[in-house]
Structure 1
Amino acid sequence: MSLIYIRKAAKNDLEQIMPIIDEAKKFLKEDGNPQWQSGYPDADAINADIDQDAAWVLIVDQKIAGYTAVASGSDPNYHQIDGLWKNDLDPYVMLFRVAISNEYRGMHLASYLLSSLISLHYRVAYELNL
């Protein structure tokens, strides 16, 4: 049975994260999705996530298998969406740059990654009475 967990990403994880990001770019391109085809996200974006304490990795048997960035608060980009939020008063958490290594694709690990982060951030918000 595999040991699977999430943890904050660190600067020394970048060399394992970037190939996962590159695989995701290729996967999106092959699927006809234009997202991530202009070079973004790049190492600078991932480093910025790490610097902002927003970067998370999914670990499977001591190996980085996935990556995502998590931000909370208000994102100015969401103030310009076509339509309206049903509730724009409550705080929210945003998950960005979700990528799973090709080695682990099809194992439903993205669900584990996202569920773990949602649970973690929900607990923090609950404890802070947000």
Structure 2
Amino acid sequence: MSDIHLVKLCVGADSLDDLLGWERARGDISYIHTRNRPTRWEELLDGGSLYWVIKGVILCRREIVSFDEDADHWRIGLRTRNILTEAQPRRPFQGWRYLKPDEAPRDIVEGETDLPPDMQRALKEAGVW
């Protein structure tokens, strides 16, 4: 299990629904692009995740599966399945930040959430739950 994770702002998303909507049409793996590869990239491949910050709050994570160089940038391969987490506030930042596992928000297991039933239903339909 990884000793480190990444935290990244989900630019352009106003809600978790926005992120889920963008990813419905993708396959098992999708990619985000970054100019620089994280220095601790090899550790991230050992069970690391990317935690998405949406409107100042971590709401979900995705497992990191690869780092690939592509022309003048790096692609971070992520499993398309989002794993909901407890909400954790984050201040604005640029790029990414590392996150220690003991500081990461806990995953939300189905039935343990205070989300409204219609949001739970939408998450199930999107394949997140």
Q: TM-score range by the shorter chain?
A: under 0.3
Which protein shows a greater Rg? 1
Normalising by structure 1, what TM-score?
0.26
Query: TM-score, normalization: structure 2?
Result: 0.26
Greater per-residue strand proportion: 2
Q: Which structure has more helix as a fraction of its residues? A: 1
